[in-house]
Amino acid sequence: MISNLVDVLSPVAAAKGIALEWAPLPEVAATLIGDAQRVSQVLYNLTGNALKFTSEGHVAVSVQALSEEAGWITLRFAVRDTGIGLAPEQRERVFDAFVQADESTQRRYGGTGLGLAICQRLVTLMGGQMGVDSRLGEGSEFWFTVPFEIDGTTVQELPAKLTDSEGPRLACLRVLVVDDSPVNLDIARRLLELEGAHCTVAESGRAAIAKLSAAPDAFDLVLMDVQMPELNGIDATQAIRSIPALAALPIIALTAGALPSQRERAIHAGMNDFLTKPFELDTLVATAHRWASHAIKTGSAAVLQAPVKATNSFPDIAGIDTAAVSRRLLGDRALFLSALTRLRDEFFNVVNEIRTMLAHHDLDTARQRMHKLRGGAGNLSAVAVAEFAARLETAYEGGNASAGEADLLQLDAALTHLFRSAKPWLSPPPATAAADNVAPITDDALSHLTASLRSNDFAALSELEALHAGLVARFGAAAIEPVATAVEGLRFKPALDLLQALAE
């Protein structure tokens, strides 16, 4: 737990020139039974806050055994920093709901992730206590205690048991995967299901919020893409953490190599860990066990779907690292061809799309398209395509369209070569279907949507998605676009005002 925390947050500390230190763990002879998920959640938040409020010096994480009796042991976790510290009157209210020391601190440092009030609530639920020792200008130490039951199984026995286990490694784990790329969703869902997990997908941050708010107890783990259009993974996580029932739900960031500043934002938003895309299955399994082991079942009775590796060899397609993608997809030829077909259908004309975007100076949309292509191509080990897409993403993010012209030409050539080579194995592109006639939204449905907006109900996200075509049919696309933008940005009051003005 501690080593993973250090791995995740060390880049954040290094970027600020701060030393992140940790004391050796206490020697505990036996396995401990407790809520590792909640402990990690609190520890991550406290450490992230310490890094945030420390501009020089160090942050130290420690674990200490306090007492042991009658089959139970109490551990004390502490995070000490050399940051801004707290005055006595600030210490008295620091655990109030979403309170920061003062307004100047809020302006300088921003929010505090989960919030100390939620951390204290989680510790209390585990039967522990939480407190702070601090002096203004000298730093702080936030600490919490948690009792753990002592199991009879020794630590030395665990590796053998894990090695000898049979069947899927994520049996019965309920996972929500959030990514705007159909290619990435297909691959993640298939790999998770092969390991016995129940997998649900969402193609946007707002769709994820709608699913989670509608059924807070339906998932054990969320895999969240960081960079998505409309509502990115960090903003979606902040919205999810504002729902009390979802405060402790593990959220793992999916990222194609986030910068330290992006990792810091993700941690402060309430994300727990990171997976680099394209991820390897063993890494995904280890991360899931780290954060949601309590929800994973063992034994043959828990098997949902036995992994069946394909026997057919992968086709030799120019531009694809066949050995790498075969290993990543566990030899599943059908999954590979399905995902490659999706990639072709979505990006066959992407170079022309990019040129149109550049002509209109829409570099942000161009960057998003390249990010999406980079992720999908990376998952399929389309090395050249992924590399050129990554270069263009960087160029457009820096506002330099002309610098990427040579890479755009090479991307065009790489995509053409890839899709021509793959043509014998892929189904023909689907014909464009004629749009169905859509009836305008009814007054009753409109009233229901406005009621959800008025009460700041996250269900408005899914309602808008379901009613969008009917809204456009009644009011017109131009009128509904700002309403949809406001709702997707969780600005419910402006969306309500716009919708009511249209209905008058």
Ordered by start, the domain boundaries in the chain are 2-160, 165-300, 322-425, 443-503
For the stretch 104-124, pLDDT in tens is: 444 344 443 346 777 887 788
Residue 307 confidence (pLDDT):
42
**Does the structure show a pLDDT above 60 at 436?**
no
Cβ neighbours of residue 269 closer than 8 Å, sequence gap 6 or more:
113, 234, 235, 237, 238, 241
Cα–Cα distance, 448 to 452 (Å, whole number): 6
Residue 148 confidence (pLDDT):
85
By DSSP bridging, strand 174-178 and strand 129-135 are unpaired
Give me the percent of the chain exceeding a pLDDT of 70.
82
Question: Does residue 307 or residue 218 have the better pLDDT?
Answer: 218
**Does the structure show a pLDDT above 60 at 71?**
yes
Cα separations in angstroms, 243 against 119, 238, 270: 14, 9, 12
Other CB atoms closer than 10 Å to residue 288's CB: what's the count? 26
The class level of CATH for 165-300 reads alpha beta
For the stretch 402-433, pLDDT in tens is: 877 888 988 988 998 899 899 888 877 654 33
Confidence band for 456, pLDDT divided at 50, 70 and 90: confident
DSSP 101: S
Average pLDDT over residues 79-105: 71
Confidence band for 26, pLDDT divided at 50, 70 and 90: low
- Contact yes or no for 128/143 (Cβ under 8 A): no
Question: Phi and psi (nearest 5°) for 201?
Answer: -120, 155
Q: What is the mean pLDDT of the chain?
A: 80
Residue 432 confidence (pLDDT):
36
Instruction: Report the CATH fold assignment for 2-160.
Output: Heat Shock Protein 90 (3.30.565)
Average pLDDT over residues 385-396: 91
Residue 99 confidence (pLDDT):
45
**Does the structure show a pLDDT above 70 at 3?**
no
Cα–Cα distance, 465 to 441 (Å, whole number): 12
Q: Which helix (H) or strand (E) holds 328?
A: helix 322-328
Average pLDDT over residues 123-151: 87
Pick from 381, 175, 385: nearest CA to 292:
175
Question: Phi and psi (nearest 5°) for 55?
Answer: -100, -20
**Does the structure show a pLDDT above 90 at 259?**
no
Q: Which helix (H) or strand (E) holds 274?
A: strand 273-276
